[in-house]
Amino acid sequence: MSTAFTVWCTGLPSSGKSQLAEALSPVVRARGLQTEVINSGKMRRTPLGASLGFSKDDRDTNVRRHAFAANLLVKNGVVAIVSAVSPYASTRAAVRGELGDFLEVYVSTPKAACIDRDKDGAWAKALTGEIRGFTGVDDPYEVPDSPDVTVDLSQLSLEAAVNRILKSLEDRGLVAPLQDNAPEDAGLLDPSLRST
């Protein structure tokens, strides 16, 4: 088993994609696989993304760079967990076709909840017109037609969302199920991240 794959988390800004990706990574690692998180927000602050704006072409280029990085990781036996708005369905479909074993996770947290979750004020600035071309305000987000997993982090705890993804990975044979004699918390969400 233990071949690498890509988990691609897509959804509106502030939907919880990054939090979900960071929580999923140690859970997959606990199943004996190496993992790396590719976070779009962080990538845009590196030389790989800093020169890009938010036009459709720049957004597509950004997503393609994420896919390129994911492909390199997977070829080297590392599970790539990508957190990126990736708003355009055609680009996501192309990426899926390029990356082999691929799980699309639609973080379906609704717009109102994303606005409430926003820590840096980007939604507020976009809604008042201070930021232009913001996905979900004046730039579209094309909802996935048939994602492999859907999680709404306004309704599900982080633990439940991670476990839903993990179950899908197990069902596809991408991660091994826990053995009967495994410790109770092996491969489950870090208890410190669990909601009470």
Catalytic site residues? 86
DSSP, collapsed to helix, strand or coil, labels residue 99 as: coil
Structure tokens at 30: 């606990």
CB 77 within 8 A of CB 4: yes
Give the whole-angstrom CA distance, residue 160 versus residue 164: 6
Q: Which residues contact 66 (CB under 8 A, 6 or more apart)?
A: 38, 40, 43, 82, 84, 86, 95
Contact 166, 30 (CB under 8 A): no
- In this structure, is the dihedral angle defined by the CA atoms of residues 28, 29, 35 and 39, taken in order, positive or negative? positive
Q: How many Å apart are CA 53 and CA 149, to the nearest integer? A: 29
Contact yes or no for 40/11 (Cβ under 8 A): no
